[in-house]
Structure 1
Amino acid sequence: MTVLVTGATGTVGRQVVAQLAAAGHPVRALTRDPAKARLPEGVEVARGDLTEPDSVAPALDGVTGLHLITFGGDDGEPLATGPRLVELATRAGVRRVSVLSGFDRGGVEAALADSTLPWAHLQPVEFMANALEWAESARTEGVVRVFGDKPGSVVHEADIAAVAVAVLTTGGLATAGGSEYPITGPEPLSPRQRVAILAEAAGRPIRFEPLTEDQERARLAAMGWPPDYVEFGIQLALDPPAEGAAVTPTVREVTGRPPRTFAQWASEHAAEFRP
């Protein structure tokens, strides 16, 4: 079976492509710019843009598994093209779909729910890879500045991909109407705890420095966030949803092994936190 992976150059998409290829599955990677894809040797790369569904149609030829993301374009806006994408996938004979998004269902999920396609909704909490946002200040100043210190069960991007691969290659995990797979790491960790783990992995002191509300507002505003998004970010840090700190058995139940720890992720990325 050939699997088409959308978002193939993203944090999770690259892992999905690599894991499928390593397991010997024919994989086709969709990207808007194949020249910049830098994907494993032997992976077929196809040009297409999810915001222009008909550009994706040729890449769906002969595909039986489809990994979908739910945003597109340069601005990362939620896709409004779900119905057409689902129509094209159904016409192409796709038999299994994995959808990577948050806990709420959007337009892509609604279109799948109205279709006959078996699909699965992958619902990861915060990615471990988000810690890469701390790398520059950790390297140059030996400090990580964060607003809020609530724990979260951050998940390794390779574990999210492993669940997607299982859905795409194993019968019964994707169902009509949509199976739901909340995906977490093995334990809740606060930003302060993650910084300590990063420091140990990097073999150097890295200090955790909490930001005040005013400092966080200024930081988000400087990034170009509009005022309502700034306030949403503040409240999310102060009172995150309970799902973010819960631990689910999804990775173990779907893949047969425990989820990777943040210490493993930190070891893999330690060089990025050193001068």
Structure 2
Amino acid sequence: MNRILVTGATGNVGRHLVTTLAEGGVPVRALVRDPGRAGPLPEGVEVATGDLTVPGTVAPALADVETVFLLWPGFEAGAAQPVIDLIAEHARRVVYLSAHVPDSDEPVTFHQEIERSIRHSGLNWTFLRPGGFAANTLGWAEQIKQGVVRWPYGQAARALIHEKDIADVAVHVLTSAGHGGAAYQLSGPERLTQAEQVAVIGEAVGRAVRWEEQSPREAREQLLAAWGDAAFVDTALAAWGAFVDAPEEVTDTVEKLLGRPALTFRAWARDHAADFR
């Protein structure tokens, strides 16, 4: 049977993915950097130690693997090339968790560079391109607890996707035929502005939460202190600002692939209410 290696196995998407694969009886191997800190994984999941940024540690995990679910842990596309080469030596197929990039004249993103490398690798490939992750709103958790979220671009509208939907689409693609050469754009089922997202989270936790508009200049200073990468901060702020006038696209890809509607942001907020209390 097709053995699947899952990278990013302890993250928001990866943990759902390995659990669902294991429950379905699919042979799955989880790549983790530190098994002692990985937390419990489902019975039947084989754990392999390796670090994608140190390619030599990944090769043993690829033994007897036919398919790889690849999530690249960084923003340097060039560093992914040795890993892609290793996957091509051992496996037949790769499903890459990429990202949706709106058509623009902006420079090529690292996701697009990695996609290009995979296309030229000789592997059978499928790209999953989600838009905004609902889980990114966990960054507001401390402010939610205080009852006020100060953030820029409250009217930026996005169709945030539940990590369970990404994982379920990945399971479907990994365990069924006909997805070679496909690039699936994924989103949640509805657009909500950032201010509306905060209100929905407040409803889920039973607490009124107010949005307070922050200037992009002030936000930039705070994000620079937290992230340290000016280019990344500026790119993030520009993207959020763009969603004010050009809201994120809603797609029906999740429903078409899974035969059920995509999960709403309200459902995500209920699932994660404890994280905001």
- The two structures share one fold, judged by TM-score above 0.5: yes
Q: 2:147 pairs with 138, 142, 151, which one?
A: 142
Amino acid at match of 1:80: G
Q: For residues 103-161 of structure 1, what are the alpha-carbon distances to aligned partners after superposition, in whole Å with 9 as ceiling and x for unaligned?
A: 3544432222113321111111110001111111211x111222102100000011111
Q: Deviations over 1:51-101 (max 9, x none)?
A: 222211111111122100133xxxx23242444333332332x23311012
| SS of residue matched to 2:243 | coil
Identical counterparts, % of pairs: 43
Q: What is the alpha-carbon root mean square deviation over aligned residues?
A: 2.0
- Counterpart of 2:94 (choices 74, 97, 100) is 97
The equivalences for 1:110-149 within 5 A come to 110-139=116-145, 141-149=146-154
CA distance in 2, matches of 1:242, 1:116: 40
Corresponding residue for residue 36 of structure 2: 35
- Note if 1:250 corresponds to 2:247: no
CA distance in 2 between partners of 1:232 and 1:88 (Å): 31
Instruction: Give the drift of 1:220.
Output: 1.7
Residue pair 1:97, 1:167 contacting (<8 A) in 2 also: no
In structure 2, relative to structure 1, the CA distance for the partners of 1:181 and 1:143 (3 Å cut) is same
CA distance in 1, matches of 2:248, 2:192: 8
Instruction: Check whether the contact 2:157–2:244 (CA below 8 A) recurs between aligned residues.
Output: no
Change (3 A) 1:108 1:242: farther
Deviations 1:164-209 (A, max 9, x none): 1111111111x2xx31111100001111111111111111111111
Residues 65 and 169 of structure 1 are in contact (CA less than 8 Å); yes or no, is this contact kept in structure 2? no
Q: Where does residue 109 of structure 1 map in the other structure?
A: 115
| Cα distance change on mapping 1:60 and 1:230 into 2, 3 Å | closer
3-state SS of 1:77 partner: coil
Counterpart of 2:106 in structure 1 is none
Greater alpha carbon shift after TM alignment, 8-17 vs 99-108: 99-108
Question: Which of 56, 59, 81 in structure 1 is aligned with 2:58?
Answer: 56
Distance 1:84 1:231, change over 3 A: closer
Over 3 Å counting, the alpha-carbon distance change for 1:124 and 1:242 in structure 2 is: farther
Partner of 2:66, secondary structure, is strand
CA contact (8 A) 1:188 1:245 kept: yes
Aligned pairs (5 A) from 1:216-227: 216-227=219-230
Q: Which residue identity lines up with residue 76 of structure 2 in the other structure?
A: P
Cα contact 2:129–2:183 (8 A) shared by 1: yes
1:270 aligns with 2:276: no
Whether the 8 Å CA contact 1:50–1:79 is kept in 2: the answer is no
Q: Is the 2:22–2:43 contact (alpha carbons within 8 Å) kept by the matching residues of 1? A: no
Partner of 1:5: 6
> May I ask how many residue pairs the two structures share in their alignment?
265
**Structure 1 residues 107, 64: closer, same or farther in 2, change over 3 A?**
same
Supply the distance in 2 between the matched residues of 1:112 and 1:230 (Cα, whole angstroms): 27
Structure-to-structure mapping, 1:59-208, within 5 angstroms: 59-71=61-73, 76-92=74-90, 94-103=91-100, 105-139=111-145, 141-149=146-154, 150-173=156-179, 175=180, 178-208=181-211
d(CA) in 1 for partners of 2:247 and 2:63?
A: 38
Partner of 2:103: none
Give unpaired runs (5+ residues) of structure 2. 101-108
Describe the shift of the 1:85–1:248 C-alpha distance in structure 2 as closer, same or farther (beyond 3 A): same
Q: Whole-Å Cα distance in 2 between the matches of residues 153 and 118 of structure 1?
A: 29
- Mean Cα displacement is larger for which, 48-57 or 223-232? 223-232
> Residues 227 and 233 of structure 2 are in contact (CA less than 8 Å); yes or no, is this contact kept in structure 1?
no
1:28 match: secondary structure: strand
Which consecutive residues of structure 1, in runs of 5 or more, have no partner in the other structure?
Answer: none
Q: Secondary structure at 2:188's aligned position in 1? A: coil
